[in-house]
Amino acid sequence: MDASSKKKPARGKLSREMIEDAAFEVIEREGLSGFSMRKLAARLGCEAMSIYHHFPSQAHLYEALVDRLFGSLEMPDPELPWRQRMRMAVLDYRRVGRAHPAFAAYFLTYRMNSPACLGYLDRVIGLFNDGGFDREMAARLFRVVGYYLSGAVLDETLGYAKGPSAVTTVSDEQLGRDFPNIAAAGRFFGTAEFDKTFDIGLEMLLDEMERIRDGANEK
């Protein structure tokens, strides 16, 4: 028995969780554009119809994957200081997005309306409310942080982490001669620098949010 056959579920034992696990594997291997229910069925060692028994369509499957990721996110202890809670929530979302690079673009741009997703979003907006912001500012800051998170995770999974996109490239010698600022900055663009760069931006956001809140309270 080869390694691939060992992964095949026994007939009649297919579950939603097994399908979701395999779907993440296939998506990360093939990419979203290369994913298909047929490839997923091959990974599971079953017929595609067996998957459709659990998920009527690929859209239903993707929705379940999004729900699963959001279900893994936890809100920080309400007894902790607000800034620490916000920081923990932001980092947890980034962690989940980066854990599935090929699925990240779908996850980040999915327009959520399921109970699982709405429940999480409601709690996050509540976290902004807990920070002392009125409803309008809580909503706007929620969006601002979302912009930062989405851009960062997309860049970290599909941007610089993937290397150059251009067909026409320049040599290191030309880069240093003609584009010295980029050459000097390049060492800070690598994946090993992502965490430090992200943290600088997050601290700036947190500082500004507290400045806005404190300024409003002084009026």
The token pair at 101 is 């690079």
Distances (CA, A) of 64 to 71, 107, 114, 139, 153: 10, 11, 9, 26, 21
The pLDDT of residue 72 is 92
Phi-psi region of 180 (alpha: psi -120 to 50; beta: other; left: phi over 0): alpha
C-alpha distances in Å from residue 174, one per residue of 13, 19, 53, 167, 168: 59, 49, 57, 16, 13
Contact between 46 and 56 under an 8 Å Cβ cutoff? The reply is no
- Note whether 112 and 202 are same-domain residues: yes
When pLDDT is cut at 50, 70 and 90, the band that residue 13 belongs to is: confident
Q: Determine the distance from the C-alpha atom of residue 193 to the mean position of all C-alpha atoms in its chain, rounded to a whole number.
A: 18
Same domain, 82 and 19: no
CATH number at residue 29: 1.10.10.60
* Residue-wise pLDDT tens digits, 18-42: 999 999 999 999 999 999 999 999 9
Dihedral sign, Cα of residue 48, residue 52, residue 57, residue 59 = negative
Per the structure, the complete domain to which residue 10 belongs is given by 3-56
Per-residue model confidence (pLDDT) at position 158: 86
Residues 21 and 107 in one domain: no
Quickly state the pLDDT bin for 113 (edges 50, 70, 90).
confident
Domain count, the chain: 2
| pLDDT, tens only, 198-218 | 999 999 999 999 999 998 777
Same domain, residue pair 51 and 90:
no
pLDDT category at 169 given cuts 50, 70, 90 is: confident
Report d(CA 52, CA 40) in Å as an integer: 11
55 neighbors 19 (Cβ within 8 angstroms): yes
Please report whether residue 200 resides in a domain: yes
Residue 135 has pLDDT above 80, yes or no: yes
Do both 124 and 41 map to the same domain?
A: no
Asked if residue 80 and residue 41 are part of one domain, the reply reads no
